[in-house]
Amino acid sequence: MQLSIVAIATMFGLTACSGGAEVEEATTDNELTPVEVGVIPISDVAPIYLGQQEGIFEDYGLDVTLTQERGGDTFIPAVESRELDFGYSNVTSLVIAHAEGTPVEIVATGAQTTGSSDNDFSAVMVDPASKIEAITDLEGKTVAVNTLNNIFDSMISEGLEQTGGDPNQVEFVELAFPDMVDQLEAGNVDAIATVEPFAVVGDQAGLERIYGPFSQSVADLSVGGYFATEQTIADNPELISQFSAAMQASQAFSENHPGLVRDAIASYTTTDTDILEKTTLPHFPQQHNRASLQQIIDISQRLGLIDHPVDVEDLIIDDA
């Protein structure tokens, strides 16, 4: 579906500056439109918090309320029932939902891997005493992920296949990110798949990073996105354009202001300052990465998470 973000920005008296890093003050006297967005308390969603704090959403005529949950898949039924206007989820969960007939589409892109196996915001972590040294050593082990059938377990499974391992020999279990380090130290799981800032918590607890599921499985992996229902998209295209444009501006602002991103993360998590200083931030692109999305679709089908391919163009709202 093609929406004119430029037209909506013009209607609200807005002009995105070069690179989308800043947005001029709105000149309209119209009341702000309230919207509620479901988010996860991880580094991926810092741009929406920063956009809220910096007034970017207000500049686009929106009054944003943010609601937290532990995993993006929990937002899919809430957005489908229209309890929430938008939600943030990992791309794999959205591909699965779309393939199963849930009428959701990605209206704005979210976090993307740094692409560095040594310096990314995701990691599979283990106790160094476990003698688990590589991803293939996870066979026969229990690995914690924040939600099942999401981007973590699918990318770990993809990594296992790429290195000659068998993903069917790994038991994935659900744990909330804040609980993972404690559960690993207690011996209840053999490995954890986590993201920043919780990966740095693991570093400080003496855990070892053995694999980058986002950086080593797919080049330039598009990790998550903000989504809405097809009904909302059809009923209120102006709202979709406002939100998409505001997210693009917030992502660009965040890419250019890493210090403020860390401050934003501190505002919605209980992360200590010393941990945040060591936290690796994601990339915050402004456009959909279609190549990455197609690879996720292909991997999801190959792993049996979906039984038929999904058309990338049916999964996203064009952000050009």
Q: So what's the pLDDT on residue 20?
A: 36
3-state class (DSSP) for residue 21? coil
What are the chain's domains?
A: 5-112+222-315 (3.40.190.10), 122-211 (3.40.190.10)
- 13: pLDDT strictly greater than 50: no
Separation of alpha carbons 52 and 68, rounded Å: 15
Token output for 268: 């919605």
Separation of alpha carbons 222 and 228, rounded Å: 18
pTM: 0.86
Distances (CA, A) of 200 to 64, 115, 204, 217, 279: 29, 18, 6, 21, 6
Q: So what's the pLDDT on residue 23?
A: 36
Task: Please state, rounded to an integer, the average pLDDT across all residues of the chain.
Answer: 88
DSSP symbol at 177: G
Residue 283: pLDDT band with limits 50, 70, 90? very high
- 17: pLDDT strictly greater than 80: no
- 260: pLDDT strictly greater than 80: yes
* Sheet of strand 33-39, all strands in order from the earlier edge strand to the far edge: 62-68, 33-39, 86-90, 224-229, 104-109
- Predicted confidence (pLDDT) per residue in 43-100, tens digit: 999 999 999 999 999 999 999 999 987 665 678 899 999 999 999 999 999 999 999 9
What is the arithmetic mean of pLDDT over 20-37?
64
- Predicted confidence (pLDDT) per residue in 157-178, tens digit: 999 999 999 999 999 999 999 9
Q: So what's the pLDDT on residue 6?
A: 35
Give, for 227, the enclosing helix (H) or strand (E). Answer: strand 224-229
What is the arithmetic mean of pLDDT over 20-42?
70
Q: So what's the pLDDT on residue 319?
A: 62
